[in-house]
């Protein structure tokens, strides 16, 4: 794509994610179902954190495009480096994980991840904006332009660290409230939950590798994004 076209796309994507994140975080607390507790607010859900992540990523991408358009190349290089790290390590694998894991569990038993009582609070379009549209956006970003991936070890360490932070946040919430962020977690013994978290990490790592594979297949090993 031309830089101006990319800038337009990234600006629109940023505006979309900002709007979706705003919409979900302003669902009125008094309308929440009884099983949705207040502690941690909306920020205990990976889905909502992913919306914030995507908004940040597309905001950084738009900034990089603007800097390239106005020929601020030295600044653009630094921003592009941050953009590519965000996309490769977090934006693509987390979006893919959110979409596939949510709809897999939803199909099996929606009460484990998205109770039916939420239908009266969160409109259908917002559910799909959070859990469905994130994957096409991530794939479109790979098709739109190449991204530099970090060294595999660095990428996996960063991804693992972020996963550790989220799991720690989930466990902290349980220690304070006695309630699990997702009803699914209540089905497991401590050992089973550890195995579930380890399996989830393995899946998200596979999505990281898949994104790297797609990027390389579409754009070639040595194609630069600047």
Owner of token pair 């990976």? 46
CA distance 179 to 111: 15
Question: What Rg, from alpha-carbon coordinates, does the chain have?
Answer: 18
- Among all chains, which residue has been given the structure tokens 């030295």? 74
Q: Does position 222 have pLDDT exceeding 70, yes or no?
A: no
Closest to 112 in 3D by CA, of 103, 124, 120: 103
64 close to 84: Cβ distance less than 8 angstroms: no
pLDDT band at 197 (very low <50, low <70, confident <90, very high): very high
Residue 57: band (very low, low, confident or very high) from pLDDT cuts 50, 70, 90: very high
pLDDT band for 226, please (50, 70, 90 cuts). very low
- What pLDDT is stored for residue 185 in this prediction? 95
Alpha carbons 71 and 75: distance in angstroms, whole number: 9
| Cα 133 from Cα 141, distance rounded (Å) | 13
Percentage of the residues of the chain whose pLDDT score is greater than 70: 93
pTM equals 0.92
φ/ψ region of 220 (left if φ > 0, alpha if ψ in -120 to 50, else beta) reads: left
Question: Does the pLDDT at position 68 exceed 80?
Answer: yes
> Alpha carbon of 108 to those of 104, 111, 133, 195: distances in Å?
6, 9, 20, 19
pLDDT of the residue at 73: 74
Confidence bin at 224 (pLDDT 50/70/90): very low
- Provide the pLDDT for residue 20: 96
Among the ranges given (26-35, 70-79, 124-133), the one the predictor scored with the smallest mean pLDDT = 26-35
Question: How distant is the alpha carbon of residue 52 from its chain centre?
Answer: 8
Average pLDDT over residues 94-111: 96
134-162: burial string, b at 16+ Cβ within 10 Å, e else: bbebbeebbeebbbbbbeeeebbebbeeb
Tell me how far apart the alpha carbons of residues 49 and 71 are, in angstroms, rounded to a whole number: 33
What pLDDT, on a 0 to 100 scale, did the predictor assign at position 160? 96
1-45: per-residue pLDDT in tens?
A: 788 899 999 999 999 999 999 998 877 655 566 556 678 888 999
Mean pLDDT of the chain: 91
Distance between CA atoms of residues 94 and 100, nearest Å: 10
Position 208 pLDDT exceeds 90: yes
What is the arithmetic mean of pLDDT over 200-209?
97
Tell me the per-residue pLDDT of 141-190, one tens digit each, with 9 for 90 and over: 999 999 999 999 999 999 999 999 999 999 999 999 999 999 999 999 99
The pLDDT, as a whole number, for residue 111 is 92
CA distance 194 to 167: 10
């Amino acid at each position: 794509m031309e830089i101006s076209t990319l800038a337009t796309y990234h600006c629109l994507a940023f505006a979309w994610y900002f709007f979706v994140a705003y919409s979900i975080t302003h669902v009125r607390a008094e309308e929440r179902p009884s099983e949705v507790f207040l502690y941690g607010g909306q920020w205990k859900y990976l889905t909502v954190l992913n919306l914030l992540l995507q908004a940040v990523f597309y905001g950084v991408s738009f900034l990089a495009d603007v800097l390239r358009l106005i020929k601020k190349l030295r600044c653009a290089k630094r921003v592009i480096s941050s953009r590519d790290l965000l996309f490769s390590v977090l934006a693509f694998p987390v979006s893919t994980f959110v979409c596939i894991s949510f709809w897999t569990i939803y199909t099996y038993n929606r009460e484990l991840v998205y109770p039916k009582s939420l239908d009266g609070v969160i409109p259908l379009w917002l559910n799909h904006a959070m859990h469905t549209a994130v994957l096409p956006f991530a794939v479109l970003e790979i098709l739109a332009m190449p991204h530099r991936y970090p060294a595999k070890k660095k990428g996996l360490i960063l991804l693992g660290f972020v996963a550790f932070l989220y799991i720690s946040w989930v466990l902290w919430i349980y220690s304070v409230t006695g309630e699990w962020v997702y009803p699914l977690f209540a089905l497991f013994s401590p050992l089973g939950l550890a195995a579930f978290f380890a399996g989830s990490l393995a899946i998200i790592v596979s999505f990281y590798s898949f994104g790297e594979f797609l990027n390389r297949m579409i754009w070639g090993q040595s194609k630069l994004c600047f």
